[in-house]
Structure 1
Amino acid sequence: MAACSFRRSIASQLSKVLDLPPENLIKSISAVPVSKKRHVADFQLSIASVTEDSSSESIAQDLHLQAQKLAERLKCDAVVSEISTGPGTVNFTINRELLAKTVLQQVLKDGSEYGVKSELFSTVPRQKAVIEFSSPNIAKKFHIGHLRSTIIGNFIANLKVALGHEVIRMNYLGDWGMQFGLLGVGFQCFGNKEKLKSSPLQHLFEVYVQINKEADDENVKKLAKDFFRKLEEHDEQTLSLWKQFRDFSIEEYIRIYKRLGVHFDEYSGESFYQEKSQEVLKMLEDKGLLQKTVYELVIPFIGVVYLTSQVHFKCNIDETYLHIGSGLQLLLCFLLTYRKGTGVVDLSEKKDLSLFSTVMRSDGTSLYITRDLAAAIDRMNKHSCDTMIYVTDKSQSNHFQHLFQILKLMGYDWAERCRHVSFGLVQGMKTRRGEVVFLEDVLNEVRSRMLQNMASAKTTKEIEDPIETAEKVGLAALIIQDFRGLLSSDYQFSWDRALQSRGDTGVFLQYTHARLHSLEQMHGNEQLTDINVACLQEPNAISVLQHLLRYDEVLYQSSQDLQPKHIVSYLLTLSHLAAVAHKTLPVKGSAPKVAQARCCLFQAARSVLANGMKLLGITPVTQM
């Protein structure tokens, strides 16, 4: 790894002066971000990272003065051509020809593994991870709300696989619960078997909407309860209908996942853990963790809430949702009722039930969290994984805090290695027909808009499969707009911003990749050797090389916090630097040695760009 060889060389010299092992210094030496305004050094050492600040004298000392003193004790050599200081840093500039030669050779040699072989990962153990993401409710069309979970989970899985970890991609379907009683009754009343085969999710959605209009009818309620009771009792006819709902739904989801470039190793679901959840309740009882209410408990909730968007309140007792409209100032006053015999687990520090989680209804049946407990234990027993990662929206943060706490109380220390990756909401996503509900509408819309943009653009060339290209570019637009900020933040979606061909967009990344690929095709894309690196000393060439040095650090940062924004920011900067270099460093018309060196530079930039895009879940296009 190019950056590693330079870090090792710098660390070796620092080690002798600071009397610290070189391996302790490696992570303190970082590549300097490229600056548009001024030339920068290639690496820097932060004095604060190697200074013991336990004494007041050390704290009081000026870091800049310490940096100057350290720099005076260091010497330039065959690798480092210049040593300077900044505010609390010692800066190292690498010999320019050595920089070009080492970086280009390493990028072209490592290919898709460039960056992942870095010493930064040498102390990170290879792990086995189960990643649960997407997880739609069967018998319902793929809601737009599941897009974020799907692409975020896919990114995390891609990144971990690239870094050498073993990953099991898990889709935990919402395939159980009282809603299936209502849907079953609805299908018996309004269902059509032919429509179920030809368009399963659309037809089941229509049936569900229709039966919901009659959901307050006492007779319908009774029929729904009877249907679900038969389902839990494994009545053959009822179970057969439910299985059709599930199988047809999964087939439809797989088709949509294919459009997203996403796959799963396992399809699991709540239904798998109905019986095991009773085992969990028994375990909780045996360990003295399950407490049952011995009286009716009514808790009033009163509050004034100003709502600017749709809000869902989830009641942990019966897993029903209270939906409130938008844009109104409302006085809320409702009662939460805990019936006699409801099972809870005390999570409070003082064991005074000031914080608890409800795990059992008064009739002895399990809840969503009980099935999640059973699923977590089963997965760990089955896969013996090092970690489990759950990718869901931030409204479920409390649920997962309770889940992990209960597992730990049950004696499962591996609960500390479980992680909830939460994300915010997408606002303002509309198609030309209005408010968006279903993901497929969004995918069709973005493909349609990209086809129009490509048809009207002057730079568009004749493409073999314009629909497929529009699909890939459109998906890149969605992913980059989604990944630019912190995952936990809500963001306002904008079609115009997402589909711009210039600026920090997925379209720009695809355009840059296609343009660099075209350059390779025109001037030969064979592996280039014996490059005359003296031909790559222009500032714009150096900027690209410096930026390529930083790739392993960006991967390491994303691997630590599982945030894709670091990679997105890196790739956008790489694309802008490559675009400037493409304008100022022409290949056509240049002397053969110069042309060959520049071709090699652009080939390296395209390779790293493609690697990063694939990690994000984007398929790079070669024509646009």
Structure 2
Amino acid sequence: MACFFRRSVALQLSKVVGVSEDALIPLISAVPVSKKHVCDLRTTSDLRVSVNSLLQRGAVPPDGDLQTQTQALANQIKRDAVVEEVVAGRGVIHFRLNRLILAQKLLEQLHSEPDGFGVKSDLLRHLQGGRTLVEFSSPNIAKKFHAGHLRSTIIGNFIANLKKALGKDVIRVNYLGDWGMQFGLLGAGFERFGSQEKLKTRPLEHLFEVYVQVNREVESDESVRSAAAEFYRRLVQREDQALELWRQFREITVDEYKRIYQRLGVDFDHYSGESFHDGQTQNVLEELKTKRLLKTTEKGTGVVDLSAMGDMSSYATLVRSDGTSLYITRDIAAALDRKQRFGFDEMIYVTDKSQSVHFQQLFHILSAMGHEWAERCHHVAFGLVQGMSTRRGEVVFLEDVLEEARSRMINNMRQSRTSKVLEEPELTAERVGISALIIQDFKGPLISDYKFDWDKVLQSQGDTGVFLQYTHARLCSLLRRHASESYSCRDVSPLTDSRSVSVLQHLLRYDEVLLQSANDLQPRHLVNFLMTLSHLVASAHRELPVKGSPAAAAQARLCLFSAVRSVLANGMRILGITPVDKM
């Protein structure tokens, strides 16, 4: 319902500047509330507009001193039932909202349509509709899920969740690394010292052992290298025995991955892989030749010139001298196939920052081929996690991280005096532990590397996933205790105190935060919003008791706490976190 207040302010402002309400709405924002906010009589319910933003949009002419112009505009704007006061700040006009109407309108919508709050705002209307394809996670088959793939998985899941919440049709794609010379090595290695029996009992561990051993031997034994090249040749030529072994590796790995994804609460609409598109690369090369984009070097490789001057100072190699395709060739084939198959409006790739140049080349080539939709393809890059280890030492596999998070969380919960007796303590500990991992990952810019610290990650105080879950569980507990009491949001007059207004004022910003997150695909904006909301409601919970308060105040406060719980849960789900009701 933040849009109701923006529209009210835009209506008054438009009468003065002569610009439509719709054009003004994006320029109007809610004044942020600090999580360290001290309850006092200065708390206000404000929206604001920058006079500079009005100048840039041509809503007002550049006429004299900015401060004088700000004051002159403020003096012309009329007050009404919603806007009680108009105050000229430094280049900013503040619109002080009626506290009672603020509480009525916000809680009315949150009570009647909690899932629609924020996401159906006027601010976000232009983002609705269309189809988004998100490629994320994308591990290599025949290898255990590496901890390094965690970032791609949770970031991609967040982006897909956000797009879906904002009304997009979302397709989640897991593009597996299931082709290339490494499978020649693995196949040759398995034929030499692999065991079908071990493959049945501990599949990925055994494949990993085989891969390590064959890589060790290939350095000193030329016959192993030849055998690997021969096995890959058999794969490319679709020889039955080689393909059957490769399929076995792939199916075993995908089944194992699905089990891990289930623990993370992540699912995919489509599993794909390089192997699926290898057969399409010839068509890509033919199209590039027809458009005179593919050139042959003296070494016999096929390249595409990427230089601005056409002097080959920058180029991408698409074909080896032996005629086999490369990763980028298969990526071009995959992009063309997806556009034809899914008809996406935008496609987002989520990988670490080391692949940034690869995606610049990919988008450049697609654009050079005449595909205008390449402009709507984006690479979301992320940095590395440093120092992630378990009690047993340096961590390699994601499952070890999940086990470590769960065991540490169970231990912390057992030692806490506030922990409840839980029906499924292991499941709760896992969900809280995963929340902690996600929040730690999402607190800063995705492109940044960060140092992992278990003690900081699992703290119950401060801006952690544990604190977020604890706040949600505490609100659920409060609502359960008063479940027998019917309450409505009709009389919200007890919520005009500073503490309540600070919570309501913060809720006004939810749609702005979603817009900011959608614009740059960074989860930290939503994380910061939810953390501030958690701190504000923790203070409100202490200072605005339900039990022992007059009936009207108790009902209004229950309505407020229920509303906050809904927004917290909705925001957590967008981040990829499953809220817990008890902990």
Fold shared, TM-score > 0.5 on shorter chain:
yes
Instruction: Please say which of residues 159-168 and 32-41 is displaced more in the overlay.
Output: 32-41
CA distance in 2, matches of 1:210, 1:229: 21
What do residues 579-618 of structure 1 show as CA deviations (whole Å, max 9, x unaligned)? 0000001111111111111111100000000000000000
1:408 counterpart SS class? helix
Partner residue of 1:163? Answer: 166
Q: CA deviation at 1:63?
A: 2.4
Identify which of 333, 336, 351 aligns with 1:374: 333
Q: CA deviation at 1:74?
A: 1.5
Partner residue of 1:477? Answer: 436
Correspondences of 1:93-112 after superposition (within 5 Å): 93-112=96-115
Answer 1 or 2: higher relative contact order, Cα 8 Å, separation at least 6. 2
Identify which of 258, 272, 275 aligns with 2:276: 272
Identify which of 513, 532, 536 aligns with 2:472: 513
**TM-score normalised by length of structure 2:** 0.97
CA distance in 1, matches of 2:571, 2:301: 50
What do residues 37-86 of structure 1 show as CA deviations (whole Å, max 9, x unaligned)? 5524420011111115989x938x43222221111112221111122122
Q: Are residues 1:424 and 2:424 paired?
A: no
Q: CA deviation at 1:125?
A: 4.7
Partner residue of 1:249? Answer: 253
Partner residue of 2:89? Answer: 86
Identify which of 530, 534, 539 aligns with 1:575: 534
CA distance in 2, matches of 1:264, 1:590: 48
What's the RMSD between the two structures over aligned residues?
Answer: 1.6
Q: CA deviation at 1:197?
A: 2.2
Partner residue of 1:17? Answer: 16
Residues 131, 54 of structure 1: alpha-carbon distance in 2 compared, 3 angstrom cutoff: closer
2:88 counterpart SS class? strand
CA distance in 2, matches of 1:233, 1:472: 46
Q: Are residues 1:355 and 2:359 paired?
A: no
Instruction: Please say which of residues 602-611 and 178-187 is displaced more in the overlay.
Output: 178-187
Partner residue of 1:4? Answer: 3
Partner residue of 1:50? Answer: 54
What do residues 337-366 of structure 1 show as CA deviations (whole Å, max 9, x unaligned)? xxx211110111111100111111001111
Instruction: Please say which of residues 436-445 and 81-90 is displaced more in the overlay.
Output: 81-90
Q: CA deviation at 1:476?
A: 0.4
1:172 counterpart SS class? strand
CA distance in 2, matches of 1:409, 1:527: 64
Residues 52, 114 of structure 1: alpha-carbon distance in 2 compared, 3 angstrom cutoff: closer
1:471 counterpart SS class? helix
Query: Whose strand fraction is larger, Structure 1's or Structure 2's?
Result: 1
Q: Which runs of 4+ in 1 moved over 3 A?
A: 52-55, 525-528
CA distance in 1, matches of 2:334, 2:252: 23
Q: CA deviation at 1:380?
A: 0.4
Q: CA deviation at 1:527?
A: 7.2
**TM-score normalised by length of structure 1:** 0.90
Correspondences of 1:288-367 after superposition (within 5 Å): 288-294=292-298, 340-367=299-326
CA distance in 1, matches of 2:407, 2:274: 37
Is the 8 Å Cα contact of residues 52 and 58 (structure 1) preserved in structure 2?
no
Q: Are residues 1:32 and 2:35 paired?
A: no
Residues 87, 198 of structure 1: alpha-carbon distance in 2 compared, 3 angstrom cutoff: farther
Q: CA deviation at 1:112?
A: 1.5
Is the 8 Å Cα contact of residues 129 and 168 (structure 2) preserved in structure 1?
yes
1:618 counterpart SS class? coil
Q: CA deviation at 1:92?
A: 1.1
Q: Are residues 1:259 and 2:259 paired?
A: no
Residues 53, 251 of structure 1: alpha-carbon distance in 2 compared, 3 angstrom cutoff: closer
Residues 125, 473 of structure 1: alpha-carbon distance in 2 compared, 3 angstrom cutoff: closer
Partner residue of 1:300? Answer: none
Is the 8 Å Cα contact of residues 273 and 374 (structure 1) preserved in structure 2?
yes
CA distance in 2, matches of 1:527, 1:442: 44
Partner residue of 1:314? Answer: none
What do residues 396-438 of structure 1 show as CA deviations (whole Å, max 9, x unaligned)? 1110000011111111111111111111111111111111111
Identity %: 60
Partner residue of 1:131? Answer: 134
2:62 counterpart SS class? helix
Q: CA deviation at 1:529?
A: 2.2
Is the 8 Å Cα contact of residues 190 and 207 (structure 1) preserved in structure 2?
yes
